Amino acid sequence: MNASDKRSLILPAAAFLVGLLALVTAIFIVVGPGERSGGGGIGGAFTLVSQSGNKVSDKDFAGTPFLVFFGFTHCPDVCPTTLYETSEVLRALGNNADKLKVAFITVDPERDTPEALKNYLGSFDPRIVGLTGSQEEIDRVTRAYRAYYRKVPLKDGSYTMDHTALVYLMDKRGNFVGSFNVKRTPQEAAKELTRYL
Ligand code: NI
């Protein structure tokens, strides 16, 4: 094979690669980052109990976008901060807040009974649904959301929980849109949410 033969092969190969790159870019633009993560398998079925003692399942969230995050009422910092920030976002949404649901799912069902959740959530927006259940039910929902949690013993004999601090934004079909940023002004966060209502 001489040099000109090699060139005649390189050109079509280069054209093919450019075409492939264009195709991949086009797919990315059409599908978009939200849809891609929606296919990531985050979220799913659950049946839990609310702070009012009512049975609540994923079906109660169908047709409504929702924010969901995991925590526990003895949490020293992250959970109360997130609950406060989320309450501020709901306030900033005004009437639109009725088109959104918010769930706080405990990773500490041992201490977080419906009554404990009710007392704790009394300091935050009343539209936030606190959810608890059996250890098996909590394990199932955390697996579905790929949330991490771990019991950490303390010196005084009690314990605390390590847990995923992510706020999940789920769309009307229950697909994961992405991690929702509450570390900004409630107005900015509310503005982003209105796109999904
Ligand atoms: Ni926490």
* pLDDT for the residue 17: 58
- The residue type at 197: L
The pTM assigned to this predicted structure is: 0.80
* Count of other CB atoms within 10 angstroms of residue 113: 16
Q: What is the pLDDT of residue 4?
A: 61
Domain boundaries in the chain? 1-33, 47-193
Instruction: Please check the confidence at residue 82 and state whether its pLDDT lies above 60.
Output: yes
CA 51 to centroid of ligand 1, rounded, Å = 18
Q: What average pLDDT does the structure give for the chain?
A: 88
- For position 193, what pLDDT does the model report? 97
Confidence band, pLDDT 50/70/90 cuts, at residue 68:
very high
Q: What are phi and psi of 123, to 5 degrees?
A: -85, -5
d(CA 149, ligand 1 centre) in Å: 10
pLDDT digits (tens, 9 = 90+) for 20-41: 556 555 544 444 444 444 446 9
CATH homologous superfamily of 47-193 equals Glutaredoxin (3.40.30.10)
Q: Give the pLDDT of residue 31.
A: 42
Q: What is the pLDDT of residues 7-17, one digit of tens each?
A: 666 666 666 65
Centre of ligand 1 from the C-alpha of residue 171, in Å: 24
- Sequence-ordered list of residues with C-beta below 8 angstroms from that of 91, at least 6 positions apart, any chain: 97, 125, 186
**Three-state SS letters, 155-184:** CCCCEEEEECCCEEEECCCCCEEEECCCCC
**Length of the chain as a residue count:** 197
The pLDDT of residue 62 is: 94
**Distance from the alpha carbon of residue 70 to the mean position of ligand 1, in angstroms:** 7
Q: What is the mean pLDDT of residues 166-181?
A: 96
Q: What is the pLDDT of residue 9?
A: 63
